[in-house]
Structure 1
Amino acid sequence: MYPRHLQPQLDAALSDTPVVLVNGARQTGKSTLVAAAAAARGMRYLTLDDRVMLAAARGDPAGFVAGLGGPVVIDEVQRAPGIFLELKAAVDRDRQPGRFLLTGSANVMLLPAVADSLAGRMEVLSLLPLSSAELAGHPGFNRADWLFDGKLGDLPMPPCDRAALSGRLLAGGFPEALARASPARRGAWFENYLQAILQRDVRELASIEQLTELPELLQLLAERSAGLLNFAEVSRGVGLPQSTLKRYFALLEMLFLVERLPAWDRNPGKRLVKAPKVFVRDTGLLAHLRELSASSLDAMPGLPGALVETFVLDELRKHLAFSSRGLGLSHYRTQGGNEVDFILESRSGARLVGIEVKASATVDGRDFKGLRHLKESEPSFSRGIVLYCGRELVPFAADLFAVPLSMWWAAPPGQPSPLSTP
């Protein structure tokens, strides 16, 4: 079992919160993490993947919850959303911490009835695919916080070797895919994974038998990963009315297959592009959809920028999931063409950090154009960072830095060097 970023948060939540939900895509390690927590606390473990258990939860939610007894784990809770109201009633009668530990492979918080029923009674934790730091055995050091206001010189970083980065991009972070012995076997895993989600989970959430356009839509979104999301353009590309397209897109979001990154818009006086960006979640899945391989990447003059940008988003999300600072994440683009790939911002908006991603091994002053614009126009600007596949952390100004992408798997100060690349 890999050490996970989320472990301390899970332990803390179970100590003071009646209902804890560990939410995330299928095959991210939720059941493994939760089963260990259950065993340590003597909790009963139930899964709604069991047909008999699912029939009971759906057929009589009140009776099902009433018969649970002591502290219990309910795995794959999204399969019986009717039990959430009964969990609320049970918690209102007895608010003992750690009564219910739930897992969900669909974002149940996007279902209004669920979000409303357990407001103030449930803590939601996100378990994403494995981060580079988890794979390296260093889950405790939060690199999003470090980028935001850490001492950049304090993290000794190995060189960002292109072959090592390519391997990480192609592998992604799903534990089962990483365990496969060859790229071909890993590709078979991704194909089966997609088929299982699109054939079973979509039908359950949408209550319809066939959504034949969904694979084509996901494929089209993969080609646009890290680009602006334009529903009118996507509608034409996939041949769907926008109303249907938006419904299907919401399903893909609910199943953690795609994500939209909002545009930064705190300055009403600027002419800003307000469209979100779209990303396929997990670079291994994205590489599979785009039919990328080690040989095809080697043949390219540089690594695909969209793939590297998706990798950085993945890593930021994984670290923000256990950050205590409440940092916001967005992208920045003006109608005049100035852009920054990512903005990290404090909850109050008093401080922001711009992050630009470069797939190359070199950086020059031109790569800081968007960051310099942000610095000159936003008083809350704190620092700007260009992440690149290089060897050294290089200052380009007192508050502008080029930082190797190897920061995501570098060992924190005083700890052993990271494990080898998958």
Structure 2
Amino acid sequence: MIKRTLATELKAAVGYTPAVALLGPRQVGKTTLALEIGRQINALYLDLESEQNRAKLAQPELYLADHQDKLVIIDEVHRAPGLFPVLRGLIDRARRAGRTTGQYLLLGSASPDLLKQSGESLAGRISYLELAPFSVLETPNLPTDELWLRGGFPDSLLAANAARSLRWRQDFIRTYLERDIPQFGPRIAAETLRRFWGMLAHHQGGLLNIAQFARNLGVDAKTAAAYLDLLADLYLVRRLPAWHANLGKRLVKSPKVYVRDSGLVHALLAIPEKETLLAHPVVGQSWECMVMENLLIAAAGKAQGYFYRTSGGAEIDLLLAWPDNSLWAVEIKRSLNPKVERGFHAACEDLAPARKFVVYPGQERYRMAHDIQAISLLELATQVAEG
């Protein structure tokens, strides 16, 4: 089994916080990770998609009070938002009795209702952790291009062959549209949302223009923005903010937007294998966004991610802002012989980053200039994770 880098942090959080919410898209491995943690301690697992387990919680306060000596893992917790006030009461009762360590591990597919309910009812009692699909740090023995083509969802990445991987991703998209998304928001026609998701894949890594998306869908801008919010809340899409500071420059302020998992991008665009991908117009942006996503996963909790662009053409693909106010500038190239363009140099003159990197598909690390290094994704992700 592939070890998840979040496992240590999750186990620690369970040790010091009364409730921990492990969030992320479906099929990303939340249940597997939670059960692994549960096997190491005295844990009880409840899946709210099971009628039998839902029946156990018909009187939740009575049932859970009988198991306060255990870590209770509640899967698909968004199906029972009424649980949160009950959990608050049980946690407070346990605190008065002197217990402050983990009592509840809540798993959810990042429902906005889950965040709202838990935020209102469990403030000061809950920690949030996000489990992303497999990253390059968790799969160092697999070719990076395999992770790029198939994406990081376990069943897709580890499928027996490319055809099965693609079929899994196609089924995943269909299930999300027809069954899962209707649980989280207002009724949206599956075909309309499928078209919107596909537009985002075609627009991978582009600047957000919600008015253009709305026109293409035949809806108003408010509706298109709500679709985007929903996909972002479900951790399927990321909005990468633009860096803004008083530099005396005309800065681009719109965020970049992209589908977070590259395998889903390729499924949405009907790209079955690497040869087709390499000939597809999305290839450069797909690679760029896959690299950015992996670096942002590695930087989670350590550095904030941005991009930088001015109207004059200065640009940095990914800017990592560290707590000490230092900046790392990252240029991303899908070439074994990468070249740094004038816009990157101009942007670095504006921002004076402490470190400058060019991520490329090769393995050798070398100096491109006195202060710019070409580096592989795995090596830079490792460096970012170490801070």
Q: Which residue of 2 aligns with 1:231?
A: 210
CA distance in structure 2 between the aligned counterparts of 1:55 and 1:225, rounded to whole angstroms = 44
C-alpha spacing 1:303/1:207, structure 2 compared with 1 (3 Å): closer
Aligned position for 2:275 = 295
TM-score (norm: length of structure 2): 0.89
Equivalent residue for 1:383? Answer: 355
Amino acid aligned to 2:368:
F
Aligned-partner Cα distance in 1 for 2:328–2:380: 17
Measured at CA, do residues 110 and 310 of structure 1 come closer, stay the same or move farther in structure 2, by a change above 3 Å? farther
| Residue matched to 1:245 | 224
Q: CA deviation at 1:396?
A: 3.0
**Contact 2:77–2:108 under 8 Å retained in 1:** yes
Q: By how many angstroms is 1:192 displaced?
A: 1.1
Q: CA deviation at 1:410?
A: 8.4
SS of alignment partner, residue 20 of structure 1 = strand
Q: CA RMSD in A?
A: 2.6
Q: Closer, same or farther in 2 for the Cα pair 1:107/1:346, shift >3 Å?
A: farther
Give how far 1:201 is off.
Answer: 1.7
Residues 108 and 115 in structure 1, CA contact (< 8 A), matched pair in contact too? no
Structure 1 unpaired stretches of 5+: 139-163, 412-422
Letter in 2 for 1:27: Q
- Aligned residue in 1 for 2:28: 28
AA aligned to 2:276 is S
Residues of 1 paired with 2:200 and 2:283: CA distance? 16
Q: 2:309 aligns with which of 305, 319, 333?
A: 333
Give the secondary-structure state (helix, strand or coil) at the position aligned to 1:353: strand
C-alpha separation between the residues in 1 aligned to 2:67 and 2:179?
A: 27
Indicate how the Cα distance of structure 1 residues 121 and 360 shifts in structure 2: closer, same or farther if over 3 A, else same.
Answer: same
Tell whether 2:162 aligns with 1:189.
no
Question: In structure 2, what is the equivalent of residue 142 of structure 1?
Answer: none
2:334 to 343, 359, 380: 359
Check if 1:371 corresponds to 2:344: yes
Report deviation, 1:211.
4.1
Conservation of the 8 A alpha-carbon contact between 2:333 and 2:360: yes
Gaps of 5+ in 2: none
**Does the alignment pair 1:177 with 2:153?**
no
Residue matched to 1:221: 200
Query: Deviation per CA, 1:91-138, whole angstroms, max 9, x where unpaired?
Result: 222233110011111254884343232222111111111112212369
Which residue number corresponds to residue 105 of structure 2?
Answer: 101
Q: CA deviation at 1:375?
A: 2.5
Give the match for residue 372 of structure 2: 400
Query: Which residue identity lines up with residue 78 of structure 1 in the other structure?
Result: H
- 1:272 CA drift (Å): 0.9
Q: Deviations over 1:164-218 (max 9, x none)?
A: 5433311211111123222221111111111211122211112537443111100
| CA distance in structure 1 between the partners assigned to 2:329 and 2:113 by the alignment | 29
Q: Take 2:106 and 2:91, find their aligned partners in 1: how far apart are those partners?
A: 14
**What is the deviation of 1:303?**
8.2
| Secondary structure of 1:385 counterpart | strand
Amino acid at match of 1:339: E
8 Å contact from structure 1 (residues 177, 189) kept in 2: yes
Aligned to 1:320: 299
Q: 1:62 to 1:171 in 2, by over 3 A?
A: same
- Indicate if the aligned counterparts of 2:78 and 2:113 stay in contact, CA closer than 8 A: no
Which whole-Å CA distance do the structure 2 matches of 1:47 and 1:303 have between them? 39
Q: Deviations over 1:352-407 (max 9, x none)?
A: 1111111111123xx2433322332225x211111112343222333222223353
SS in 2 for 1:134: coil
Identity %: 36
One of 118, 123, 130 as aligned partner of 1:119: 123
**How far does residue 80 in structure 1 lie from its aligned partner after superposition?**
1.9
- Distance between the aligned counterparts of 2:187 and 2:274, measured in 1? 38
Of structures 1 and 2, the one scoring higher in RCO (CA 8 A, sep 6+) is 1
- Count of residue correspondences: 377
Distance 1:304 1:211 in 2: 27
**Number of the residue aligned with 2:74:** 74
